[in-house]
A = this chain, B = another copy of it.
Amino acid sequence: MRALAERAKAAARRLSHADTAQKNDALERMAQAIHEDREAILSANAEDVRAAETERKGEAFIDRLRLDAVRLSGIARAIDQVRALPDPVGEVTERWKRPNGLRIEKTRLPLGVVLMIYESRPNVTSDAAALCLKSGNAVLLRGGHEAHRTNAAIARAIARAIAAASLPEDAVQLVPTTDRAALLELLTLDGLIDLCIPRGGEGLIRFVAEHARIPVVKHYKGVCHVYVHADADLKMAEAILLNAKTQRPGVCNAAECLLVDRVVADAFLPGAARALVERGVELRGCPITVTLLHRAGIPVRPAAEDDWGREFLDLILAVRVVRDLDQALDHIARYGSEHTEAIVTRDSASAERFTREVTASAVMVNASTRFNDGGELGLGAEIGISTSRLHAFGPMGLRELTAQKYVVRGHGQVR
């Protein structure tokens, strides 16, 4: 593992000042190579899927693992999209001059070597490779063992493309083994690996955080709330709630809990709850919610204490009536995961207070929680969504894969 990381570090040094045209050439060849190798990749994937079926992995698991011609084109297209994004390396983010004449700039440089740890989605292999290459970082890819044949086939195509563009092949390396001991060794290579990004279930992320001796940007769960304020446009609130809960319930920026101001609970809850139930959502309510919905003949069960702050990732919603904005803020501070929080209100003072006081990577006013996404926010592409506040908070795009250094130009200044 050390030799692997040392090769990555050497490649990172060369890649850190490769010019944009050369990196774009490599990305173009990567998309082509994946197209050329489609049969090999799909047959490797078919083997992985067969093995997963034999091991009786769940349906959702196999769906994440499975590739077909359409998904493979999507993978190639995603690489093309990264190619089209501006190169962050060398970008000057600030400039100023000191009284002694020193001219100071902050400019972006790559982080170095990124260790990407993920589970069964093979598209992460190519997405992470493309984002890291464009941002001048070498990457070590450590995917789940269930996708290993697929990942290896994708990595072979990528390596060929990088070499053809005269960039160091070691810039993108698939970790050849998926055993835990090798992972543990990688996690201790301080000085060789600059950042570890684990993506996947909470168990994996906690394992990485526990054992890493290298910096980790974490991507824990999303327990997102929609708070319907006393002064909300109730039709807008219902549309946002339905979108946040049901458009794609299995993702981290889906809503898991509704908070309703008691002033509007009577007017809002029965209608919104009926619409949710019609879309197959199970409701778990606080005592006031239960009373109110039972009276309206809408099915709801009492929420248990551990339903607050729970990431259902499913068509289940916790519902609580709150006294006021203060109680909503307290609830979010206590049970939220600092991922995405939304308020629906027409009152700008309440909106401002909510945006100021809520700690979350994205705070939404009158918009769905589902917009906390690199593509939707305009970052182009993302390698994940960080709920750490250190280094990156929210979607990590190309810029979040860079650091900034000071460049100071003088004419002989001394202290």
Q: A residues bordering B, Cβ < 8 Å?
A: 13, 16-17, 90, 96, 98, 102, 104, 107, 109, 111-112, 190, 194-195, 209-210, 213, 215-217, 233, 236, 239-240, 242-244, 247, 333, 351, 355-357, 359-368, 370-372, 376-378, 388-391, 393-394, 403-415
For the complex formed, measure the closest distance between the CB of A244 and the CB atoms of chain B, giving whole angstroms.
Answer: 8
B405 touches A359 (CB 8 A): yes
A244 / chain B contacts, CB cutoff of 8 Å:
414
CA distance A236 to B13 in the complex (A): 30
B359 touches A109 (CB 8 A): yes
A408 touches B365 (CB 8 A): yes
Known: A215-B388, A414-B239. A363 touches B394 (CB 8 A): no
What are 16 A-to-B residue pairs whose CB atoms are below 8 Å? A13-B359, A16-B357, A98-B378, A102-B371, A109-B359, A112-B359, A112-B389, A209-B213, A215-B388, A240-B412, A360-B405, A361-B405, A363-B408, A364-B408, A365-B409, A368-B414
For the complex formed, measure the closest distance between the CB of A241 and the CB atoms of chain B, giving whole angstroms.
Answer: 9
What is the total number of copies of this protein in its complex?
2
CA distance A403 to B386 in the complex (A): 12
A194 / chain B contacts, CB cutoff of 8 Å:
389-390
For the complex formed, measure the closest distance between the CB of A235 and the CB atoms of chain B, giving whole angstroms.
Answer: 8
Interface of A is mostly: mixed
B364 touches A410 (CB 8 A): yes
A357 / chain B contacts, CB cutoff of 8 Å:
16-17
A407 / chain B contacts, CB cutoff of 8 Å:
355, 362-363, 365
A112 / chain B contacts, CB cutoff of 8 Å:
359, 389
> A220's closest neighbor in chain B, by CB?
B191
A415 touches B368 (CB 8 A): yes
CA distance A128 to B361 in the complex (A): 26
A376 / chain B contacts, CB cutoff of 8 Å:
98, 102, 415
For the complex formed, measure the closest distance between the CB of A250 and the CB atoms of chain B, giving whole angstroms.
Answer: 14
For the complex formed, measure the closest distance between the CB of A179 and the CB atoms of chain B, giving whole angstroms.
Answer: 23
A413 / chain B contacts, CB cutoff of 8 Å:
366-368, 371
CA distance A171 to B42 in the complex (A): 57
CA distance A403 to B366 in the complex (A): 23
A-B contact sample (18 more), CB < 8 A, given A98-B376, A102-B376: A16-B359, A98-B377, A190-B209, A194-B389, A194-B390, A215-B390, A240-B412, A361-B406, A362-B407, A362-B408, A363-B405, A367-B408, A367-B409, A367-B410, A368-B414, A371-B415, A372-B406, A390-B403
A404 / chain B contacts, CB cutoff of 8 Å:
393
A102 / chain B contacts, CB cutoff of 8 Å:
367, 371, 376
A210 / chain B contacts, CB cutoff of 8 Å:
213
A16 / chain B contacts, CB cutoff of 8 Å:
357, 359
CA distance A412 to B111 in the complex (A): 38
For the complex formed, measure the closest distance between the CB of A402 and the CB atoms of chain B, giving whole angstroms.
Answer: 9
CA distance A403 to B391 in the complex (A): 7
A-B pairs, top 7 by smallest CB distance, nearest first, are A367-B410, A243-B414, A389-B403, A362-B406, A236-B412, A391-B391, A215-B390
CA distance A376 to B97 in the complex (A): 11
Known: A240-B412, A412-B233. A406 touches B389 (CB 8 A): no
A109 / chain B contacts, CB cutoff of 8 Å:
359, 389
Q: Which of A239, A363, A413 has the most CB of B within 10 A?
A: A413
A104 / chain B contacts, CB cutoff of 8 Å:
377-378
A370 / chain B contacts, CB cutoff of 8 Å:
414-415
Which of B98, B366, B391, B411 is in CB contact (< 8 Å) with A390?
B391
For the complex formed, measure the closest distance between the CB of A332 and the CB atoms of chain B, giving whole angstroms.
Answer: 11
For the complex formed, measure the closest distance between the CB of A113 and the CB atoms of chain B, giving whole angstroms.
Answer: 11
Known: A109-B359, A361-B405. A412 touches B239 (CB 8 A): yes
A239 / chain B contacts, CB cutoff of 8 Å:
412, 414
A388 / chain B contacts, CB cutoff of 8 Å:
215
CA distance A407 to B109 in the complex (A): 26
